[in-house]
Amino acid sequence: MSYSTVKYKYLLLLVGIFIMLASDANLLHAQNQDSCKLVVQGFVRDSTSNEALGYAHIHVSEAPEKSVDSDEQGRYVLRGLCPNKTYTLICYHVSCERVTLVIRPTTNQMLSILLPHDAHVTSGVVITEKAGQAPSSQARSELSGRALSYVRGQSLGQAMVGLSGVSVLQTGAGIAKPVIHGMHSNRVLILNNGIRQEGQQWGSEHAPEIDPFIASKITVIKGANTVRYGSDAIAGVILVEPSNLRDSVGFGGELHVVGQSNNRQGVISGSFDQNLRRLPALRWRLQGTASMAGNTRTPNYWMKNTGVKEYNFSFAAAWTKDRWDADVFYSQFNTDLGIFSGAHIGNLTDLERAFNSPTPLDSSGFSYTIARPYQHVTHELVKTRFRFSLSNNWIMRATYARQYNLRYEYDKHRPLSDSLAGLNRPELQYEITTHTGDLNFEHQMIHHFTGSYGVSYMRQGNTYTGRYFIPNYRNYAFGVYGIERWVKDSVITIEAGVRYDYRHLQVFKWENQVIISPVHEFSNLSGTVGAVFTIRPTCILSLNAGSAWRAPAVNELYSEGLHHGAAAVEYGDRNLKTERSLNLIANLDVHKHEKFSFEWSVYAYLIRDFIYLRPVLPPTLTIRGAFPTFRYSQADAFLRGMDFSGQLNVWKGLFCDARVTLLRAWNLEDKKWLIGMPADRGTLGLRYAFEDFKRIKGLQFGTNVTYVNKQFRAPINEDFVPPPSAYTLLGLQVGSSLDFGGFAMEWDITASNLLNVRYRDYMNRFRYYSDEMGRNVRVHVRIPITQKSPANHSH
C-alpha cells in the first residue's frame, strides 16, 4: 500500500471522527439544555469562627452569568448547573482571603464554603466590620471570633463596651445597657436572631433579656436605621446573630466554662447541633446556659445584695429545600437580679450622708444570697420564618414572632402586715406580650440595582399588678418601607430608602376614682440617602444622611412614683411630643494595609424635642424611703462626635491597637450641656501574636490602658452629686488554642482593673452611692464537640 493511499485513508478516518464528534456535541448540547437544572447551595462561613458571611460574592468562571452573592444570612444558591461539568468557583469577601473551589456536580447538593479571615482583622481584640461588606453606607462595628471570646460570661451590654462608639449605661454592677452616640433604651433597637427585642426595655435598669452565648457575632450599626428597622432606631441597631445551623451531615457543638474572681461567678454554657444523613434537609440545635454570681467587690468593700442567678435555653430547627426553607426558634431567658441595697435609703438625712460618703451606709461581706430588693425576669421568644425564592433574582421572607416578658420587682422592705409579708409577693408585676409580623421582598442585582421592600406589624399589650409606676396599655405599630442600592463596578454604591410608620398607644389608668383611656397616635416618614466610594481596594469612604423620628414611650408619658430598680422617683409628661432627628455620618475605612488599618467616623444629630431625664432637686421622701427624683423633659438638642479605631503593625507579630470616642451634646434651648451623656474615652493596647509551637496554636498576649475623662460637659449644680473624677484602668488578655490531634481546645484569661483602682463612672446611676468593681480575673475555656467532615465538602 502506497504512502498516499494510507494518507487518504487516515484523512477520511479523521473526517469521519470529526463528523461523529460534531453530531455528538450537538446532541449533548441539546440534552444539556434540558438537563442543566442542577442546584448547588449552602452557606459561606468564616473558617475560624464558623459564623455566616453575608454579601460574599461567588464567581463562576465558566459561566459568569450564574455568579451570585450570598444573602444577609450567608446563604447562596447556584442554579442551572450542568451535570458532570467542571466549574471553578471563586469566592470573595471584603474581610477574608479569596478561596477557589473546583466542583463537578452530578446531583443537587449542599456545599459549605469556608473562607479564612484576613490575619490583620482576626488578630485584634476588637474586630471592626468594614463599611463596604454589605453595599450599605452605614458604619458598623463587630464583635466576633477571639474578641467575642474575651468577653464570654459578661452581659450583653458589658460585652460591647470595647466597640468603637459604644458605651454602657449601668445601674450598679450587674445591670448594663448599650449606649450608641450618647443614646440608649428606646433609641437603640436590638434584634435577637432577626427579631426586634420587645420587653420592658424603657427602664434604665432593664437590661436586654438575651443570653450572649446564643451569639456567634454581635454587630452594631451606628446611626439612624429607621428605614429598615423601624421608627425608634435613631441611634443605631444591635444585631445579635447566632451561627447558622449545620449544613453538612454530622453533629457538632461546644462547651463553654467561665469563672470570675471578683464576684466568684461561675458560668457553663453548651450547644449541640446535628444534620442527619437520612434527612439532610433537617437541621437543629439545642443550647443552654447557667450562671451564678455573688456580691461584687470594689477595691475597698463588698456591694451588698448584688448577686445574679441566670438560666437560659434555646432550640432552633430548619428545613431546607432547593427553592425554599423554613425555620423555628424558641428561647427562654430567666434571671434573678439583686439590687444594691445601699441605694435604698430610709430618710433624707441618710440619703444626703450616702451622697457624701466614700463608702455605702449598708455594707456586708461576700454572699451568693439574693435578698430584697431584687427583680425576677422571664423572657420568651418564639419565632417562625419562611423563605422562598420567587425567581433567580427575587426572594420572599415572611416572619412571625411572639414575645412574652414577665417582671417581678420586690421592694427592700416586706409589707407591714404579717400575713402579706408571709406570702412574699412582689410589690410590682409587669406582663407584656408582643406579636410581630414581617414580610420582606429582596431582589439581587438587576441592572446594577439591589433592593428590598417590606411591611411590618406589631401588637403589644402590657398589664401591671401592685404598686403603680406605669399604666396598662395597648400598643400597635405598622410600617412599610423600600430601599434600593445602585452599584457600579463595585466602586460606587448609592443607596436611598423611605419608610412610613404609624403607632397607636392606648393607656388604661385609674385617675380621680375613674378609669381613663387616652389614645396617642403618631405617624411620620423616615428617609435615608447614602453613598459608598471604594477609593482603592484598601480604602472605603461612606457618607449617610437621614431623617428619623421616635414617638415618646409609655414611661416618658405616664411614669409616676418609685422606679424600684433605679432607686429613683420618676415622673412622666403626657404632653410630650414626637422626637424628630436629622443625622449625618461620614466613615473612612482603611484596611488590609501591610502596616496599619483604621476606621474613623464623624457624626452629627440635630434632634427636635429630644426627650431626656432631668434631675429634680431636692430628693423625694416616700413611705418606702428617700430617693433622687427625675422628670422627663424635652428640648432641641445637637449631638456631634467622633469614633476612631485603628491598628498598627509595629513589628512582625507585634500590634498596637487604639480606640477613641468623643461626644459633645448641647441643649439648644437652655444653652447648656445635656445631662447624662458619656465622657470622652480612649484605649491604647499592645499585643503580640506568637508563632505556633507544637500543640499551641494562635497564642496571643496583650495589655491595654483605658482612660475615661471626667465629664466636664454636664450642667453645673443640676445633679445630686457632681460628675466623678477621671480614671485610668489597666487590662490584660492572653489566649490560644491547644491542638490534641485534631481536637482543639481554646482558652483565654482576661484581667480588668488590674491595679485595683478606686473609681466611679458618670454613666452608672448608682455612682451616687458606690464605687465600681475592683480587680477581676476571668478564665474562659471552650471545648468543641465535633464530628469531623471534610472542609468545603457536600453531602
Tens-place pLDDT, residues 447-504: 889 899 999 999 999 999 998 999 999 999 999 999 999 988 778 999 999 999 999 9
Return the minimum-mean-pLDDT range out of 207-211, 455-459, 747-751, 761-765.
Answer: 207-211
Return the exposure string of 714-736: e unless at least 16 CB atoms fall within 10 Å of the residue's CB, then b.
Answer: beeeebbeebbebbebbbebbbb
pLDDT greater than 90 at residue 70: no
Mean pLDDT estimate for the chain: 87
pLDDT greater than 60 at residue 95: no
pLDDT greater than 60 at residue 792: no
Is residue 90 within 8 Å of 64, Cβ to Cβ?
no
Nearest to 709 by CA among 689, 723, 699: 723
- Which amino acid type is present at position 30? A
Bridge partners of residue 440, in order along the sequence: 397, 454
Band the pLDDT of 592: cuts 50, 70, 90.
low
Return the minimum-mean-pLDDT range out of 196-210, 356-370, 561-575.
Answer: 196-210
Higher model confidence: residue 405 or residue 790?
405
Residues 6+ away with beta carbon under 8 Å from 201: 185, 186, 190, 208
DSSP label at residue 65: G
CB atoms within 10 A of CB 323: 14
Higher model confidence: residue 397 or residue 593?
397
279-303: average pLDDT: 96
Per-position DSSP letters for 128-162, written without gaps between them: ---TTTTT--SEEEEEEHHHHHTTTTS-HHHHTTT
Q: Which of 79-93, 241-255, 542-556 is modeled with the greatest confidence? A: 542-556
Residues 6+ away with beta carbon under 8 Å from 173: 263, 296, 303, 306, 340, 772, 773
pLDDT greater than 90 at residue 124: no
pLDDT greater than 70 at residue 119: no
408-434: average pLDDT: 83
Band the pLDDT of 117: cuts 50, 70, 90.
low
Is residue 747 within 8 Å of 735, Cβ to Cβ?
yes
CA atoms within 13 A on the CB side of 326: 3
Band the pLDDT of 90: cuts 50, 70, 90.
confident
Return the minimum-mean-pLDDT range out of 78-92, 105-119, 687-701.
Answer: 105-119
Residue 650 has what pLDDT?
93
Residue 434 has what pLDDT?
97
pTM as predicted: 0.84
Band the pLDDT of 644: cuts 50, 70, 90.
very high
Is residue 522 within 8 Å of 535, Cβ to Cβ?
no
- Can you tell me the distance from the alpha carbon of 95 to that of 117, in angstroms, rounded to the nearest whole number? 6
Residue 414 has what pLDDT?
79
Return the minimum-mean-pLDDT range out of 51-65, 471-485, 585-599.
Answer: 51-65
pLDDT greater than 50 at residue 549: yes
121-132: average pLDDT: 33
**pLDDT tens profile 177-236:** 999 999 998 899 999 999 999 988 776 678 899 999 999 989 998 887 778 888 888 999
What percent of the chain shows pLDDT beyond 70?
90
Residue 637 has what pLDDT?
98
Instruction: Give the three-class secondary structure for 369.
Output: coil
CA of residue 18 relative to chain centroid, distance: 63
380-400: average pLDDT: 94
Bridge partners of residue 140, in order along the sequence: 221
pLDDT greater than 60 at residue 586: yes
- Write out the E strands in 199-265: 217-222, 236-241, 250-260
Nearest to 633 by CA among 677, 570, 581, 712: 570
- Which amino acid type is present at position 353? R
- Can you tell me the distance from the alpha carbon of 565 to that of 374, in angstroms, rounded to the nearest whole number? 8
Is residue 625 within 8 Å of 346, Cβ to Cβ?
yes
Nearest to 409 by CA among 235, 562, 600, 204: 562
Instruction: Give the three-class secondary structure for 557.
Output: helix
Residue 249 has what pLDDT?
86
Residue 125 has what pLDDT?
31
Is residue 542 within 8 Å of 586, Cβ to Cβ?
yes
108-119: average pLDDT: 74
Is residue 144 within 8 Å of 133, Cβ to Cβ?
no
Classify strands 539-550 and 560-563 as parallel, antiparallel or unpaired: unpaired
Residue 32 has what pLDDT?
46
700-708: average pLDDT: 97
Classify strands 492-511 and 625-651 as parallel, antiparallel or unpaired: unpaired
301-317: average pLDDT: 97
Residue 662 has what pLDDT?
97
Classify strands 217-222 and 250-260 as parallel, antiparallel or unpaired: unpaired
Instruction: Give the three-class secondary structure for 652.
Output: coil
Classify strands 139-144 and 109-110 as parallel, antiparallel or unpaired: unpaired
Band the pLDDT of 420: cuts 50, 70, 90.
low
- Which cell goes with 677? 451623656
Band the pLDDT of 446: cuts 50, 70, 90.
confident
- Which cell goes with 504? 397607636
Nearest to 665 by CA among 643, 683, 641: 641
Residue 134 has what pLDDT?
41
Domains and CATH numbers, the chain: 31-129 (2.60.40.1120), 157-248+280-451+459-781 (2.40.170.20)
Nearest to 539 by CA among 583, 591, 479: 591
- Which cell goes with 62? 465558566
Band the pLDDT of 416: cuts 50, 70, 90.
low
pLDDT greater than 80 at residue 725: yes
pLDDT greater than 60 at residue 16: no
Is residue 248 within 8 Å of 793, Cβ to Cβ?
yes
Roughly how many angstroms between the first and final C-alpha of the chain, as a whole number?
A: 59
Classify strands 568-571 and 625-651 as parallel, antiparallel or unpaired: parallel
pLDDT greater than 90 at residue 66: no
pLDDT greater than 50 at residue 23: no
- Can you tell me the distance from the alpha carbon of 696 to that of 692, in angstroms, rounded to the nearest whole number? 6
Band the pLDDT of 93: cuts 50, 70, 90.
confident
pLDDT greater than 70 at residue 41: yes
Higher model confidence: residue 69 or residue 611?
611
